[in-house]
A and B are shown apart, each in its own frame.
Chain A
Amino acid sequence: MLQNGENNPARPSDAADGPTGSVRNSPPHHIVVVEDDAGVRTLLVRLLRECGYEATGAEGGARLEETMRVRTVDLILLDIMLADENGLDLCRTIRQQSLVPIIMISARGQERDRVAGLDLGADDYIAKPFGRSEVLARVRAVLRRAGASHVPPQVPELDQFNFCGWRYRPRYHELLSPSGAEVELTAAEHDLLLTLLRHPQRIIGRERLLELSRARQAQSTDRSIDVLISRLRRKLGDGHSIRPMIRTVRGVGYMLAVDVSHG
């Protein structure tokens, strides 16, 4: 949509803005912000630090490499439009050396840049100008993905999920119906679908889903999870079917009751 600027004014900081519980006891994540504008760089670093992350600013590729030599980097926020170099080239260079998660920062509406960045191995993207909650949600989501799986964090996100003829490519936010049509989802629906697809045949509690959807939505209530599920079902043509793909487990949560394959 054209006007999907952040409509919610920044909220007072709450628990959801900081690193989530599981990582709170371990040493804080180290994030490098690659951004040529000094103001934005400094402010982002400050904001991330306030939320409990370790953050370093880098104005370009040289400085980034230097930082990566000195210490481990858990996440890179990379601006695609740098003053002297191409962010896409830099993204490719990083990927050749390391599988560290990358979140691209692109100007809003530059679809081509975004897809090119994802093709080069970036994990997620965020459109400029973004707000505090948007960037923190992305950072949290990418870090959780890298840390929560029981495989080493350097294994990249699965590229494609297949279920009941549907295909979902999470990095591109692309859902294809069995007949090959692109089906548009809202950001919150993407997050929800991805969570369900990662844990097929398992009941996922409302609280967990709520926590995930809060990452993007302004006012998450318990009810809005049900609303989200019903919207998703409608788009998946799952609304009136006798054996729905997304099954409701009363009092507990939801379950994706289909087989999911990858690749």
Chain B
Amino acid sequence: MILQRVLPRGMVARLALVLVAALAIEFAGNLFLDEWRERGLLTDQRTHRIAEQLANADQVAAQVDRQRRPSVMADMAIEGMTLNWVPGTVITDSRTAHPQLVRMHDQLLTLAPTLVGRDLRLSLIPSDDRGERDLLGALRIADGSFVTFRVRPFLGSPPSPAMTRLLHLLLIAAVLGAALLMMRALVSPLRKLAELADATGRGAAPDGAVDETVDGPWEVRRVATAFAEMQARLLQASEEHTKALIAVSHDLRTPIQRLRLRTALLKDDEPREAMSADLADMEKFIASVVGFMQCGAEEEDRLIDVAAIVMTIVDNAADTGAEIRYEGPDELLIRLKPLALKRALGNLVDNACRHASHVRVTMRRGNPIVLSVDDDGPGIPADQRDEAFVPYRRLNAQPGNGNSGLGLAIARKAAAQFNGSILLEQSEMGGLAAQITIPVPRPKVRA
């Protein structure tokens, strides 16, 4: 970017640049406002004629008798300019107070070079009406008397003080706004960096591309680079962690498989059934750990019957002895990730069946679709519901029973895959109500 090359590289220098720019704009604005308050009403053409006439009057006055001078001068009046002759004058020069007078003086001398070096006094006098101001001037001629002249109108009426103050305030606001915008642009790389940091570990991490996507002052780029490196290290550590856990879980399957078969060959019923139950718990535990670790696995949206999936999960739970029923439509077709939905709902149903004796799954059409798993178990106190989602946290149950403490964590992670969410509430059945909301991607819900 060209702007990148022109801008100073450091954060401090850029801030200073913004400050200087703001002050400069404020200064220029003030000058302009002052100018605007005292705007001149003379055109170049009229100024030209005034200068000419003044030069003429200077010459004429020197050649005419003192008695005739006033009438001759009065006769020389042109449009917008009257002339007179006086032996002495009270007119003083007030150029120091008014820049316009200085400019007028310079213009007159440029247009009428014969006046250079002469005593030419310029002053302002209020006009007869409308708040305008006239130019009052006196030119000292050779014998020490004065040719006086009045140009009307010379300056426009000044705006009211309130108006002036308002305009100053507007100027300040505009400069402030511009400075804020510049500051915003200046810190935008930081915001971008924060967004990238937020995305890390939520499946959306743009692996290691941070230092390329973030530009800006070198301080920010330095932070971005450090962040990118940290992100890479974190992701790598997390990946190794995941791989190790999955490897362990996979490797455990073979010995469990052997135990399963060995158990089946036992002649004694009692230990066989107990061991089978223990093995089933182990399998459940491993399945949920692997499920949690692999939750981010990519899955495509497919057109599925959500109701059939819900009924399948409910029926499977019922077949293993749970008191569970489903209330809702028999068919609900949307495009969704089926495995993610099965994971989310499956874990909630599993949780409910473990803690309660009666479970009800309801589904409500609409956008979002709301799936609710209600039970009559002990529930979770309102202040512990957030904690319930923390992986490996078992709120009241002891380890074992195939309870990995991952159920809700998996459910939430899975729901996030279809942009859904999970909410825990008090159920009207007395226990916990776990709600899954499924946003409908396109308005394509059909009965």
Interface residues of A (CB under 8 A from B): 1-10, 12, 37, 39-40, 43-44, 46-47, 50, 107-109, 111, 128-132, 177, 179-186, 188-189, 217-218, 231, 234-235, 237, 239
Contact = CB atoms under 8 A, between A and B. Distances in A.
Contact of B338 (A107, A184, A188): A184
Most B CB contacts (10 A, CB to CB) among A111, A177, A218 go to A177
Contact of B346 (A2, A180, A234): A2
B211 interface: no
Contacts of A8: 320
Contacts of A239: 330
B136 interface: no
Nearest to B254: A37
A132 B261 contact: yes
A5 B284 contact: yes
B213 interface: no
B256 A129 contact: yes
B234 interface: no
Nearest to B257: A129
A183 B303 CA distance: 9
B331 interface: yes
B416 interface: no
Given A5-B284, A129-B283, A186-B312, A109 B304 contact: no
Given A108-B287, A231-B311, A2 B276 contact: no
Contacts of A10: 263-264, 272-273, 276
Contacts of B294: 109
B258 A3 contact: no
Contacts of B263: 10
Nearest to A177: B305
A183 B350 contact: no
B303 A40 contact: no
A197 to B, nearest CB: 17
29 contacts: A2-B346, A2-B410, A4-B316, A10-B273, A10-B276, A39-B255, A39-B258, A40-B254, A40-B257, A107-B250, A108-B287, A128-B257, A129-B253, A129-B260, A130-B260, A131-B276, A132-B264, A177-B305, A177-B333, A181-B303, A183-B304, A184-B309, A184-B311, A184-B312, A186-B319, A189-B312, A218-B320, A235-B308, A239-B330
B269 interface: yes
Given A2-B347, A185-B312, A239-B330, A109 B290 contact: yes
A interface majority secondary structure:
loop
- Interface centre among B250, B273, B287, by most chain A C-beta atoms within 10 angstroms, is B287
B302 interface: yes
B284 A107 contact: no
B319 A47 contact: no
Contacts of A3: 284, 287-288, 346-347, 350, 402
B346 A46 contact: no
B276 A9 contact: yes
Contacts of A4: 316
Given A1-B342, A6-B283, A9-B277, 5 more contacts: A1-B316, A2-B342, A3-B350, A9-B280, A184-B305
Given A181-B333, A186-B319, A131 B346 contact: no
Contacts of B342: 1-2, 184
Interface in B264-278: 264-265, 269, 272-273, 276-277
Nearest to A216: B319
A193 to B, nearest CB: 12
Nearest to A179: B333
B68 interface: no
Given A2-B343, A2-B410, A3-B287, A181 B260 contact: no
Nearest to A228: B315
Interface in B368-406: 402
Nearest to B312: A184
Nearest to B302: A182
Contacts of A43: 258, 261-262, 265
A111 B272 CA distance: 31
B305 A182 contact: yes
Given A1-B316, A9-B272, A40 B258 contact: yes
Interface string B281-322: 001100110110010000000111101110111011001100
B342 to A, nearest CB: 6
Contact of B291 (A37, A109, A181, A189): A109
User: Most B CB atoms within 10 A — which of A4, A181, A234?
Assistant: A181
A128 B253 contact: yes
Contacts of A231: 311, 315
B202 interface: no
